[in-house]
Structure 1
Amino acid sequence: MDFTLKTFLVMLAIGSLAGWVMHRSDFCLTGMVRDVFLTRSFLLLRALLLSVVISTLTFEILRRFGVSIQVFGSPSAAHLLGGIGFGVGMTLAGSCVVGSVYRFGGGEVTGAATILGLIFGSLIFFELAIPISGFFKRISLFEAATIPELLGADPLYVVLPSALAGSLFIISWARGGKLTLKSFIPTYLQPWKAAVAISFLGALSIFFFGTPISISTLYAKVATTIEAAIFPGHIARASYFSKSVAIPLEFQGGSITINNGPVTDTLFIAQGALFIGIFFGALFSAKMAGDYEVNFRIPPRQYLSAFAGGVIMAISARIAEGCNVWHLLGGLPYLSISSLLFLAGLFPGSYLGGLILKNRIIMTHGVEELRGK
């Protein structure tokens, strides 16, 4: 089978399963960080650690068997800055680049507002933020891209102790009932089960296409296509849109082609299939559970917050060379230093986003409701 067609079909299947799992469990990477500050809940953060531990082991096994994995770049200040910005954006939006898709598929229209914001934010990045991004990327911290490279050690000697330490925490939480959430919804999927499922879906993504699950570049590609249709001359003149790269995948028998211009490449095919799969997987889950309902009667401030959050996330993801899904579910298990910097930025960013959300959106809306009465 042709590599491109195989990629589309496999990623469509992975996306469909991921959409179903995420909808049933509300496996929200935004909530994993945001809830620490807004509700003092650590349940989803524990589920994230479980996912990272499993993925760390599976990624290393795949690497040992010669599976081609797209490498992460050297760390820079851009990854920390992008993490901070992304934390602000995802908290305002209430979802991330993937969360907005499964929630939109489940009937939440604010997910559509976030998706539009992600596309619009990509346009802003192309026109205004590329020089800023380049400046921070030049502030390089290490040549080494991963912790094993930094230590000059075989990855196995870092993977095993890290996985063991994480496992001890997980076992302790499991014994204390801190990995489960009491729910009276019969179709609800516990976060720890979702974490296990998403980990193996991420491993399948690497096995067949060489990259972790992510769709952030898809929004940039859509934005590029829109801009090319409106301003074709500008796209043709800008050097940024002429850049392209092909990453060979010896194990998978193909290559990851990435083109900044309005050109269909294999990364677009893969992420487009994931997007479609996640949307319809969540839609199918909601229909089967009997809780699918589209409600447009939402306060305008929530639409605005979702859209603005999407804009900020898009710009931040371009600066950080990836979104939270890419860095947390892909980079952390790969022991990427740039992903650790991104994670370090997410927490203060999410805290700042929470302050904005409470003081400028929730409180203001509450005052307006009281005045209306």
Structure 2
Amino acid sequence: MTWKNILLIIGLIALIVLTAFKLKTNKEIAQNRVYHYDKDQAVGVAVDTIQPGLLMNEQRFSGVFEPVKETRVNAELQGKINAVDVDLGSKVRKGQVLIQLDHSLLDLQVQSIEAEIEGVESDLWRYTALAAEDAIQGVKVKKAQFGLQKAQIQKSIVEEKISKSTIRAPFGGVITAKMVEEGAFAAPGMPLLQITNIHQLKFTINVAERDLHLFRMQAKHTIIADVFPGEELTGQVVMIGAKANRAHHFPVQFLVSNRPGQKIKAGMFGKAVLENELAEQGISIPASALQGSAEEPQVYTVRDGRAVLQPITIASRYRNQVVVSGGLNAGDLIVTEGFINLYDGVNVTIQ
């Protein structure tokens, strides 16, 4: 073997040793950077002491939101529709022009009556002057006065018809139905548009006879729209039905102010929520303390400085609280915070 080959072998061996040393060093550095949990170290937790108290009960009644103000705008005159200034979904204010009917024939009637008034006024001036000289009988003056009054009344009637040819919004709201278009012919009583105001809403539920006593006039309750379950509205009772329907349920109606932007729409479903305090003692805990599954709920209790995973029995739920009917006793400590690294039997410190 030549010296050249020997040197090559020595170089390869040195490279392998250096690489192995580098890999070992990198492994030690990586291991030092990794957090190693000390199983003997106590876990800091927050706890609550179980204290029985009067339980809360929640009842929900389904209902529907309806507009407080909604009307169909009808024509009061007959005539061709010259202009429709709104469309479906248009927001309108009270008094805004919606539809313009043609009133050209009425304008001609006004001109005719004005000409008649001018002639009658001329006759009245002349008759008055002649009557003062006893040249004519006073009855002609009275007839002229009557004719003038009649013509003025006719003019007022026609002008009132002209004003009705401009159809305006009776209140502010949104156009929710449009039955006509420009060029159509309107007739008295014919529906043209529908305006809905949802700034305020009616919320109506049907209540069984046994629950009707829960509601009082002017009382306020929480209303929740199904599409916005996290947002609570306040509804005031404005009507309690005096007659039941065929299912022997009574209508109860609330007045509700809509959210900014009128998020709640007419026709949406919702719930009226009644909260009542029951006259019985029981145990309730925060829902955030629950562990395990819905079928096998558990909580961590603290006993002798250790966490103990305790199975419980849930009787009912009330918002963010859970009513417990089994597994816990008065004075027990349950863990409410600090679940990271927490397991059955670990040492704990109460923070």
- Computing the radius of gyration from Cα coordinates, the structure with the larger value is 2
* TM-score normalised by L of structure 1: 0.15
Greater RCO, 1 or 2 (C-alpha within 8 Å, sep 6+): 1
- Name the structure where helix makes up a greater proportion of residues: 1
- Name the structure where strand makes up a greater proportion of residues: 2
